[in-house]
Amino acid sequence: MPTDEIRISVRDLVKKFGSQTVLTGVTLDIKAGETIVIMGGSGCGKTTLLRLLIGSHQPTSGTISLLGQDIASLDGDGFDALKKQFGILFQSGALFQSMSVGDNVALPLQENTDLAPETIEMIVKMKLELVGLRQHANKLPSQISGGMMKRAGLARAMAMDPKILFYDEPSAGLDPVTSAEIDQLILELTRNFGVTSVVVTHEMDSAFTIADRMVMLDGGRVLMVDKREEFDRIRKLPESEAKNLSEDQQIVYQFLRGAADGPITRRRSADDYREDLLGIDAQGNDIVSGTHSARR
């Protein structure tokens, strides 16, 4: 169960790429032993937030603390030491294709510890057993399915017994049964090992299965943070009651239900027309217009 220990703390986080602001003032605390799902429409900033959390991007302003350490204040050696305490499951699994499944899992242990080869081999078998792949240790990634590659990537992410696991679209591209298996693995790892899990996804079935809390991003800002049960309450409201929701909650409502009509689609249509007609975006910034030639 989640505890009061804060393992990830984000304060007033802003990220800009040139003149484009991708994240605006994100503030968030994530506790030990909880699974938190970050979701939102395409371009909302969820992938950028994940990359900031794992140190792949640097914030424009604001702070990120992992396990009590401000990552911006760490030098290379300090951040390398911190990285040993978190694991990452990338969307594709990101296995090295020339290495066996077992060798992929062994790699973090070989690079970051002084353990004897026999000990590493035992740990690899244990991690692969956790994800149901021990008998496939000698296979190459090209010889296993997409779902198995995801599980192998998860075993590698778990190799160093991390306190935090980051997941980038863990169910993307998987059939419903395999997706459900990945969800169960996330739940078991969180419950059995007290791991803090941060999951970026747009798969609603998966999100409502694994989340303790959920974060909805929209336009680079945090629209709503709450327990799964509150998001589920909003999702199940009849349309007649949803009309009484606040503007932000109506955005959440449309996203959770996957509805074609609502504030997200109406805004998107209005913004696209504004950009095309006036050459400025919704924030009033000039944009580069394409040239159009007459067609016959």
pLDDT digits (tens, 9 = 90+) for 259-276: 888 888 887 665 555 455
Backbone angles phi, psi at 104, to 5 degrees: -60, -40
Backbone angles phi, psi at 61, to 5 degrees: -155, 170
d(CA 263, CA 160): 44
Residue where the block lists tokens 């594709």: 92
d(CA 230, CA 228): 5
Asked if the model's pLDDT at residue 245 lies above 60, the reply is yes
pLDDT digits (tens, 9 = 90+) for 99-124: 999 999 999 999 989 999 999 999 99
d(CA 96, CA 103): 9
pLDDT digits (tens, 9 = 90+) for 174-226: 888 888 988 998 898 888 888 999 999 988 999 999 999 999 999 999 999 99
- Reduce the DSSP state of residue 216 to 3 states and report it: strand
Tell me the two tokens of residue 146. Answer: 């997409």
pLDDT digits (tens, 9 = 90+) for 2-31: 678 899 999 999 999 998 999 999 999 999
Contacts of 30 by beta carbon, 8 Å cutoff, 6+ apart: 6, 7, 8, 9, 36, 196, 198
User: Does the predicted model carry a pTM greater than 0.75?
Assistant: yes
d(CA 49, CA 26): 9
Sheet holding 6-17, edge to edge: 20-31, 6-17, 61-66, 69-70
Percentage of the residues of the chain whose pLDDT score is greater than 70: 89
Which H, E and C letters describe 20-43, residue by residue? EEEEEEEEEEEECCCEEEEECCCC
Q: How many CB atoms lie within 10 A of CB 68?
A: 9
d(CA 246, CA 135): 53
Asked if the model's pLDDT at residue 252 lies above 60, the reply is yes
Give pLDDT, residue 266: 85
